[in-house]
């Protein structure tokens, strides 16, 4: 799983630039029907042993947060904006990969030359620049990505960029390549990070009765954070949400997820704060409405070059996703 996730996460694919990820997934799944819709969503159908009386859709987004070049100066300094919600503090002092062909550095003048006020303040993106060293053929509208390491560390933890939501993509790929119990649709969506846009058209086209969104979600179990502010914790299993900023989840599916987890000995938790949002937001109000559930891998430092997940949580989400296919089919 580690090597596959690493390969998937190291592909650069921010919102609007998902083709590398889509091509990789398309060539690494064994499905019964694969189509790419006008926005770039990869819509996949896989037959199972049985055909349920309702249409079930899984969804995970292919895009990651990244950057877009807004201006190019002659001496190799590029202006840029963030694609998706990135805190400027995780961008300073980093190397980026620009347009998949050049390295660029984001920095400021030397710490020695900063005033006290400047030292205490993270500049906004419109005051930052990407330094590519000299003249490089980069156009406005090109994309840039964190160029960072991907590794396993500590007691079963994994660090890297784009784990949000390539983890969900990998689980769906494994489900497709396995022997699923029931027929299902799998939507590998685009543009989640800029407003859950791809899932809107994916859900329209597939027109499911029920949807299970596989995601990563913010865990804030960091030093000095206690109680409900942790939101959820690594090592405590799959996260099933009752509500976030975009969705109040189907109560029956929410309860079913917990029941299914308990029956199968899968560790499961919920969020202790109404925060975040994902593709469920557009899926559950698609067409005449879709009963929707989200199962997520808890993730520290979301939307940074250092997303951190725990392997055991990933496997809990994977197992729960597989079991939920049958459980939802049998409602």
Partner 1 sequence: MNIKSLLKTMTEKVGVSGNEFAASNAAAELLKQYAEDVNVDAFGNVTGFVKSGRADAKTLMLDAHIDQVGYIVTNIDENGFISVGTCGSPDVKTILAQSVTVHGKKDIQGVVSTLPPHVLKSESAPKAEEISIDVGMNKAQVMEIVSLGDFVTVNSAFRELAGNVISAPAVDDRSGVCAILSALDMLKGKKMAYNIAVSFSAQEETGERGATQTAFRIAPDECIAVDVSFGRTPDSSPKETAELGSGVMIGYSPSLDSGMSNSLRALARNKNIAFTEEVMPGSTGTNADAIGVSGAGVKCCTLSFPIRYMHTPVECVDLGDVELTARLICEYALGGADDV
Among 65, 102, 238, 297, binds partner 1 (CB under 8 A): 102
92 makes contact with partner 1 (CB under 8 A): yes
30 makes contact with partner 1 (CB under 8 A): no
Q: Is 74 a catalytic residue?
A: no
Q: From 40, 70, 92, 62, select the one nearest 143 (Cα to Cα).
A: 70
The 3 state secondary structure assigned to 231-293 is: CCCCCCCEEECCECCCCECCHHHHHHHHHHHHHCCCCEECCCCCCCCCCHHHHCCCCCCCEEE
Asked if 103 contacts 97 with a C-beta cutoff of 8 angstroms, the reply is yes
93 makes contact with partner 1 (CB under 8 A): yes
Residue 97, φ and ψ in degrees, nearest 5: -105, 120
Asked if 20 contacts 28 with a C-beta cutoff of 8 angstroms, the reply is no
**Closest approach of partner 1 to the CB of residue 116, in Å:** 11
Beta-bridged to residue 97, according to DSSP, are: 103, 145
Residue 2 CA to residue 114 CA, distance in Å, equals 41
Contact string (CB under 8 A) for partner 1, positions 191-210, x = contact: --------------------
Give the range of 31-39, 99-107, 192-200, 287-295 binding partner 1 by CB under 8 A.
99-107
Give the range of 27-35, 218-226, 259-267, 282-290 binding partner 1 by CB under 8 A.
218-226
**Closest approach of partner 1 to the CB of residue 167, in Å:** 16
301 makes contact with partner 1 (CB under 8 A): yes
**Marked catalytic residue, from 18, 192, 193, 322:** 192
Q: Within 129-168, which residues bind partner 1 (CB under 8 A)? A: 129, 131-136, 147-149, 151, 153-157, 159
CA distances (Å), origin 91, targets 186, 213, 312: 33, 29, 29
104 makes contact with partner 1 (CB under 8 A): yes
Instruction: Please report how many Cα atoms fall inside a 13 Å half-sphere around the Cα of residue 185, on the Cβ side.
Output: 22
Give the range of 12-20, 23-31, 219-227, 263-271 binding partner 1 by CB under 8 A.
219-227
Q: Within 228-257, which residues bind partner 1 (CB under 8 A)? A: 229, 231
**Closest approach of partner 1 to the CB of residue 173, in Å:** 25
Burial of 53 (0-12, 13-18, 19+ CB in 10 A): exposed
Residue 296 CA to residue 270 CA, distance in Å, equals 10
Question: What residue ranges bind partner 1 (CB under 8 A)?
Answer: 73, 76-77, 87, 89-90, 92-95, 102-105, 107-113, 119-123, 127, 129, 131-136, 147-149, 151, 153-157, 159, 218, 220, 222-225, 229, 231, 273, 275, 300-302, 304-306, 308, 310
Give the active site residues.
Answer: 192
């Amino acid at each position: 799983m580690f090597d596959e996730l690493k390969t998937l996460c190291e592909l650069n694919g921010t919102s609007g630039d998902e083709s590398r990820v889509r091509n990789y997934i398309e060539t690494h799944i064994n499905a019964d029907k694969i189509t790419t819709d006008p926005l770039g969503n990869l819509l996949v159908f896989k037959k199972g042993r049985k055909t349920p009386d309702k249409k079930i859709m899984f969804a995970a987004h292919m895009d990651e947060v990244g950057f877009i070049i807004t201006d190019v100066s002659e001496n190799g300094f590029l202006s840029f904006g963030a694609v998706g919600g990135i805190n400027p503090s995780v961008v300073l002092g980093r190397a980026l990969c620009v347009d998949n062909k050049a390295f660029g550095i984001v920095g400021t003048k030397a710490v020695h030359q900063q005033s006290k006020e400047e030292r205490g303040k993270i500049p906004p993106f419109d005051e930052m620049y990407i330094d590519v060293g000299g003249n490089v053929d980069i156009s406005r509208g090109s994309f840039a990505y964190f160029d960072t390491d991907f590794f396993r560390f500590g007691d079963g933890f994994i660090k890297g960029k784009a784990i949000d939501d390539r983890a969900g993509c990998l689980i769906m790929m494994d489900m497709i390549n396995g022997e699923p119990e029931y027929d299902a649709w799998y939507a590998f969506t685009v543009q989640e990070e800029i407003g859950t846009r791809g899932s809107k058209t994916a859900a329209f086209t597939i027109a499911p009765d029920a949807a299970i969104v596989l995601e990563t979600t913010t865990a804030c179990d960091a030093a000095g954070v206690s109680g409900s502010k942790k939101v959820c914790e690594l090592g405590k299993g799959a996260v099933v949400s009752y509500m976030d900023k975009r969705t109040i989840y189907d109560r029956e599916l929410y309860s079913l997820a917990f029941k299914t987890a308990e029956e199968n000995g899968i560790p499961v938790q919920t969020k202790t704060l109404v925060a975040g949002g994902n593709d469920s937001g557009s899926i559950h109000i698609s067409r005449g409405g879709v009963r929707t559930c989200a199962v997520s891998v808890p993730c520290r430092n979301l939307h940074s070059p250092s997303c951190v997940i725990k392997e055991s949580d990933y496997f809990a989400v994977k197992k729960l996703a597989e079991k939920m296919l049958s459980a939802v089919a049998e409602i």
